[in-house]
Structure formats: C-alpha cells, structure tokens
Amino acid sequence: MDPEVRARLLGLKLHALVREHFGDMEPDAQAGLSVGAASSHGDTAWVLVEERTERALGVAMAWASKRGSKVVHILASDHTGTLARRATHFVTDLKVWKVDGIAIAPSVPDSLSAEPAPSPDHLVFVDTIRESGADVVIEHGVVTGEVVGLEVCRVVDDPVTGAQRLEVGVGEHDREAFAMMHGDTPTTASLKRIVDVVARHRSTGADPHPLNRLGAERALRHRVIADPAAIGASELRAVASPTPRPNLKDPIPCVAVGTTSAGAPLVAVFSTGIDLDVVPFAADARAFHEPTIGEPAELVIVVPLRDVSPVTVRMADLLLRPARIIGL
C-alpha cells in the first residue's frame, strides 16, 4: 500500500477509536509514525501501534514527550502485555490498551520469564569454542561463540536424531553450508580458521565488509567488556536481553552486568544508531537481571558518541529510576 494512503487510513482508524472510547474531540495535532499513527488533545496523547509493536513504546513516548503530554494512551493489537510491563518503569502516565476490532480493553503487564539454563549436553562444547579463540556467550539457554560480538558458531540439537552438535557459520544458512562442506562436528582447528578470518574483518580500522556491518551493538559490548573502565565499571560480563533476539540481521540492544568502580551493581545496555526504544528496553533489562543480582542496580545505556540524542536523554530522565546515557 502507498505509504501516504496507509498513513491516512491509520489516522482515520485512530480517530475512530478515540472518538468511540474517549469522547468526540478535535485533535490539536496528528502525525503518522513509523509504527502507526498519533494524535493529541490538550495534555493527552493517543498512539495507535500497527508495526513492530513490541518495540514501539519509545516511539510513542518520543512523540508524546515532545508535545509535553502528561497522559499517553497506547493502542495495539499484540504484544500489549510487554508494552504494559515496560510502561510501568516510567513516571509518565502511560496506559496500554488492547485493540480487538473496534473494542479496546486495558492491558495487563506480562511477567518477565525466567531465563532457561543451557543443557549440560550443550555445555560440553564450551571448551572447543574457547580453544578456537571465540568468546563463549550463553543467552536464553543457547550456547554460542562470538568474535568481537558476531556469532560464528552455535550448539544445536539435530531435529531428526536429537543429537547435539556445534554448527559453524554466521546465521542459519551459513551454518548449513559449512556443515555440508565440512561435516557436522568441526574441529578446533577448522573453527579457529573461521575465527581468525572474522577477527580480521572486525578489527578496529578494517575496511568495510559484510562481516563488520552486523552486530555493531554487540561489537560495542565486546570492546567495553575488554575495557570496563571506559564506562566507570570494574568488571562486566555479557548476559541475555529480556527477550531472545529474533535473528542476527536486525539490530537489537544487548546487555552486560557487573560492578561499578565503587563496587555497586551495574546493568549496562549497548545500542548503536538512534534507537528510540532503547530506554524502555534497558529498563526491562534491569528488571530482568536484578532478581539475580539481588539488589538495586545502576543502569547505563552505552552508545557511540554520535548517537547520543536529546530525545533518548529526555526519556532516560523519565524513568522512575533514571538511567545514564554514556557516549563513547
């Protein structure tokens, strides 16, 4: 559909929902957003989310906070439990509604699920990954090897036999191609050759290449873990995000936990580019890891210096427990 036509249709849908459930009023402002449509009247804003719902809260807040809205109604048809949970981290009055046709209902926040532990059979491959020179990263029960933040191998279960094996490659299709050429069980030497090639392409100052365009946020995490003092930490380790990342291609923030130079617990979230949803994501990450940490943790959001934006800083200050933005 033509983008302008789609924007008008979403605007009409939002106006109809607002008129039906919040009273007939003329909006002071209307806008098409990357995730849907928005309108406001007085100090109240409404945002209809139709795309990338799970990561739409930041977009909604960015538009509403720029207008000085004190109450923000977010209307969506899916992932509303996630939106409602992340909304609880802010001082702004955020109300999430689940849309079903022309009906809406208040959404109940979903609970964060506990992170599954990796299978002992998968942990058998940890030494092979380390001996190859890759970093062992375990997130949501999945054992992987990374080179400067780029996944180059993963332990999987064979869908037919159920046997465990270490697959080598960047992404599922690359792993399948490697298995066809080299067999199901790579040696430490063959994995090390892949690690060396990827490491050269992901080194500082390397020429542009597909291997250094993926996972920029995870490369940033890797470099800060190697030099935690860069963000005022004494030590850091890579941990899982609140929800599993869907794939290697789409950028999504990543997380590390550790301690500050003063010995306080720290949760660090890494992102690149202007990601309007990084603050809600980061607040969720702190809530996800604090039960394991056992006490309140400081939250920092680490981005390249060029990506520190006023809107991100503004949203970080709107958290019930504000976060710091660090540009490197």
Q: What distance in Å separates the CA atoms of residue 81 and residue 66, rounded to the nearest whole number?
A: 25
- Encode 200-226: b = buried (16+ Cβ within 10 Å), e = exposed: ebbeeeeeeeebbebbbbbbbbbbbbe
pLDDT tens track, the chain, 328 positions: 677 787 888 888 988 899 889 887 777 778 888 888 899 988 999 999 988 888 899 999 999 988 889 999 999 999 999 999 999 999 999 999 999 988 999 999 999 988 999 999 999 999 999 999 999 999 999 999 999 999 998 998 888 788 888 888 776 655 555 554 555 555 677 788 888 888 998 988 888 888 888 889 999 999 999 999 999 999 999 999 998 887 777 789 999 999 999 999 999 999 999 999 999 999 999 999 999 998 999 999 999 999 999 999 999 999 999 999 999 9
CA-CA-CA-CA dihedral for 98, 286, 220, 115, to nearest 10:
-80
Q: What is the DSSP string of 210-254?
A: GGGTS-HHHHHHHHHHHSGGGGTEEEEEEE--SS--S-SSS---E
The pLDDT of residue 174:
59
Cα 322 vs. chain centroid, distance in angstroms? 18
Query: Within a 10 A sphere around the Cβ of 283, how many other Cβ atoms?
Result: 29
pTM (2 decimals)?
0.89
Q: What is the DSSP string of 140-157?
A: TTEEEEEETTEEEEEEEE
- Is 55 strand, coil or helix? helix
Report the chain's terminal Cα–Cα distance, integer Å.
40
H or E stretch including 292? helix 278-293
The encoded tokens of residue 71 equal 């109450």
Q: What distance in Å separates the CA atoms of residue 114 and residue 321, rounded to the nearest whole number?
A: 22
Q: What distance in Å separates the CA atoms of residue 22 and residue 7, rounded to the nearest whole number?
A: 21
The pLDDT of residue 304:
96
Query: Is the separation of the CB atoms in 27 and 39 below 8 Å?
Result: yes
